[in-house]
Amino acid sequence: MFKTFIKFWKRNFLLNYHFLFSFIFIIVGIYWVFFGIAKADAFEWGFDATWFSLGFLHSCAIKTDWSGVCWGLNTDWQSNFPSGTNYKYVSAWTYHSCAIKTDWSGVCWGKNDYWQSNFPTGTNYKYLSVGSGHSCAIKTDWSGVCWGKNDYWQSNFPSGTNYKYLSVGSAHSCAIKTDWSGVCWGSTWEWQANFPSGTNYKYVSAWYRHSCAIKTDWSGVCWGDTFPTGTNYKYVSAWTYHSCAIK
């Protein structure tokens, strides 16, 4: 009986795969409604924001009064944005979020099983990006630092003081340097950490199995995936199985 079931599962893997994930999302939805793991009351329709970040099942934003707000899934308090009116930048992932304050210090909240929410002390951080189990930031001296999960060396930020932008994925991270070249580190089993050579990159987005970048001529490129042709793109965001760009 068991062997017959395994053979049936293998023959119908794709169908069962979608059924399984549909079932999981149904269960999450039931929890969401009946057990209060979603923080829906935090969202205020129509507020003005200076910055926002979309996580997997929650989102966060910085308001024009420099306070912050999150809404969505809150199983690990990832939507509990700290009080105060001194926040200038925020980044959200699945189970944790981090923000940069106006005094250039940082704070994280949510899941901390890999210490990904242990923002380093100091008042010298200007930009950050959070991933699945790790987080990274660029300092005011243009150097970088990562903390959290490091099973693929995704938290081993390269040395140097020449980094101006970064994006953290699931198990890899990427950064743009001040000379417009790029570098990635961490998992590369789908070549998602193989940043193309050149000194003509201005923006990068890293996610699960692929990464994408916008070049200085406004064209785009992905590695681990493909990017549409054209030289009229100004922003890109990579997700698990798809990517989107602004022209």
The residues facing 244 across adjacent strands are 237
So what's the pLDDT on residue 26? Answer: 54
Q: How many helices (H) and strands (E) does the chain have?
A: 2, 18
Give kind and range of the element (H or E) at residue 30: helix 13-34
Q: In 80-131, where does DSSP find H-type helix? A: none
Show the tokens assigned to 202: 């201005």
Query: What's the rounded mean pLDDT across residues 121-149?
Result: 97
Q: Which residue has the higher pLDDT, 239 or 53?
A: 53
Helix (H) or strand (E) holding 219: none
Between CA 111 and CA 109 the distance in angstroms is: 7
Q: What is the reported pLDDT for 15?
A: 47
Q: What is the pLDDT of residues 213-232, one digit of tens each?
A: 999 999 999 888 778 888 88
The closest alpha carbon to 213, from 234, 189, 190, 242, belongs to 234
Q: Which of 18-22, 119-123, 173-177 has the lowest mean pLDDT?
A: 18-22
Instruction: Find, among 154, 150, 113, 146, the residue nearest to 127 by Cα.
Output: 146
Percent of the chain's residues with pLDDT above 90: 63
pLDDT of residue 245: 84
pTM listed for this prediction: 0.81
Return the amino acid letter for 223. W
Q: How confident is the model at residue 1 (pLDDT cuts 50, 70, 90)?
A: low
Q: What is the pLDDT of residue 42?
A: 47
Provide the 8-state DSSP code for 119: P
Query: Closest Cα to residue 168, out of 119, 130, 125, 201?
Result: 130
Q: Tell me, what's the pLDDT at 5?
A: 44
Residue for token pair 């999150």: 70
Q: What percent of the chain has pLDDT over 70?
A: 80
Chain segment 27-82, per-residue pLDDT in tens: 555 454 444 455 554 455 567 899 989 998 999 999 999 999 999 999 999 999 99
Q: What would the two tokens of residue 209 be?
A: 């199995």
pLDDT at 83: 97
The H or E element that residue 160 is part of is none
Name the band, by pLDDT with cuts 50, 70 and 90, for residue 2.
very low
Higher local confidence (pLDDT), 72 or 21: 72
Q: Who wins on pLDDT, 193 or 46?
A: 193
pLDDT at 24 over 80: no
Average pLDDT in the chain: 85
Residues 76 and 88: their CA atoms lie apart, in Å, by 23
